[in-house]
Amino acid sequence: MTTTRDTRAHLAPVLVAGRARPAPGAPVHNPARHGEIVGEHALATESDVDDAVRAAHAAFGRWARLGPHERARLLRGAADELGGLTAELAMLLTREQGKVLWESRVDVGGAAYILGYYAGLAGELDGDRILREDERVTVHVGRRPMGVTGVIVPWNSPVYLCFLGIAPALLAGNTVVVKPSEFAPLALGEVLATLARRLPEGVVNVVPGTGAEAGDALVRHPLVRKVFFTGSTGTGRQVLAGAAGNLKNVSLELGGNDPALVLESARVTDTLVRELVRGVYGNTGQVCFNVKRIYVHRSRYDDFTDRYRAAADEIVVGDGLDPRSTMGPLNNRDQFDKVTGLIDRTRAAGATVHELGRKLDAGSFGDGYFLLPHVVTDLDPNAELVTDEQFGPVVPILPFDDEDDAVDMANATEFGLGASVWSEDRDHALDVARRIQSGSVFLNVHRVGASAVDMPFGGFKGSGIGRGHGIAALEACTEPQTIADWRDVSGLPGPGPAGDAR
């Protein structure tokens, strides 16, 4: 295999207090062409992380004192500049991450959109509220920033998910240190460098590198008071253990094994089928709350499955930069091997595996981590593909006869991030949704965009701790503080001034 290097220098450096610093680097490969090096990312050391955290700690007091409205003004200015970079950086993101170009535009465009949204919430942090006021005491309750916030970002939607963490943290008055994924650090690195230039020195810092070194050092650093982590449940457990050293506040958005329940009251239409195809294969199946398993009432099962396979068969798999592609490659070798191994074991266990879609360029298909969409039928409800998160373009479809059984199967997992219920009877669908153990349940939709930025988002069980998005994210970035202004302490329990009991 011939290795080629992009003639343009795409670099993701360590960024401390607004200054890039030299560090040993590692290549970033194009998942559509293994041999193409798109750029390099720094390998931040524990020392680099310490410097970045200390720079953020030094900047914290000044940034917090600016107040929410001045911080919002600065964030809006950064959003205006970032909006003009979306088209160029979307192409870079597709080349390093693999997703098709329109998906990259949504991802990169999230930086400006999310900053603007949170800037509009400055009033939520404006002053304290009076909990109680009488002749004896006035009780003020307010929310205060925590301090240095570490944000650890995954590779599937790096810009959008990063800004869902850093935007509320910054508006709330915290400073941030971001650890991008080594699989997709380039576009995010350029976005963060632009943001850092628009804000006071040290407010935004970046430490690319491995999770084992840079990520672990960030989680364990004693000056980091808050950690946002998005990623797998297994790594989330490690983050929680590392953060326990000095009792950090953590927000964990972890894996999902999201069920979709197509009830007897659903009508199998082209719209329903297309929505569920989008819900499964968006970003090549690499979305935490994509549909991972579909349960269909037996009276609708044959019709649904036939139409679903026909719709999935229209997917065109190829380089995400080619406008004819409707699905790009998987992002990296480990993920490719995991998903293909899962498909092989499912087939060997006797399930019916339908390989669908078409290759845009059959001759170069093996040059990338390309995988055609798959649909699996005739499998056991406890099969590995059903119980585990596949995070790739393969979905099991299973029949059910009794609605209670369908709910039980939906809940029979360690995960609880997202789910959906499909029905013409919305009141009944709402009743079913309330029985599903999941942080978000969608009715008649289940894909990226269904969880808007103002809707609280997070998981039950092994899918996470805490909630992000909207006001919930601002609350997750602040500590509540009570100030009790006592004017008359007579009658309070305890000894008096001379030690006599009152």
CA dihedral 395, 398, 402, 408 (to 10 degrees): -50
Reported pTM: 0.95
- List of domains in the chain: 15-24+46-254+463-483 (3.40.605.10), 258-443 (3.40.309.10)
State the Cα–Cα distance between residues 380 and 349, nearest whole angstrom.
9
Mean pLDDT value across the chain:
95
pLDDT for the residue numbered 7? 47
Residue 447: Cβ within 10 Å count: 22
Residues 6+ apart with CB under 8 A from 335: 286, 369, 391, 392
The per-residue pLDDT for range 60-85, each reduced to its tens digit, is: 999 999 999 999 999 999 999 999 99
- Listed range (23-27, 308-312, 325-329) with the worst mean pLDDT: 23-27
State the Cα–Cα distance between residues 367 and 365, nearest whole angstrom.
5
- Maximum Cα–Cα distance across the chain: 91
pLDDT for the residue numbered 23? 84
- Cα-Cα end-to-end distance for the chain: 86
Question: Which token pair is 259?
Answer: 């069920």
Angle at 476 between CA 472 and CA 478, to 5 degrees: 120
Phi and psi at residue 333, in whole multiples of 5°?
-60, -45
CA distances from 40 to 19, 155, 256, 304 (A): 17, 15, 31, 46
Phi and psi at residue 61, in whole multiples of 5°?
-60, -45
Q: What is the DSSP letter of 122?
A: G
pLDDT for the residue numbered 502? 43
Q: What is the DSSP string of 444-462?
A: S--STTSS-TTS-B--SGG
Residue 277: Cβ within 10 Å count: 25
Indicate the pLDDT class of residue 259, thresholds 50, 70 and 90.
very high
Give percent of the chain above pLDDT 90: 94
What average pLDDT score do residues 345-369 get? 97
The per-residue pLDDT for range 406-418, each reduced to its tens digit, is: 999 999 999 999 9
pLDDT for the residue numbered 10? 84
**Active site residue: 253, 275, 389, 475, which one?**
253
Is 253 among the residues known to form the active site?
yes
Question: Which token pair is 120?
Answer: 């509009």
State the Cα–Cα distance between residues 171 and 476, nearest whole angstrom.
12
State the Cα–Cα distance between residues 116 and 454, nearest whole angstrom.
12
Q: What is the DSSP string of 10-64?
A: -EE-EEETTEEE---EEEEEETTEEEEEEEEEE---HHHHHHHHHHHHHHHHHHH
Residue with tokens 């499964």: 280
CA distances from 36 to 5, 181, 296 (A): 6, 19, 43
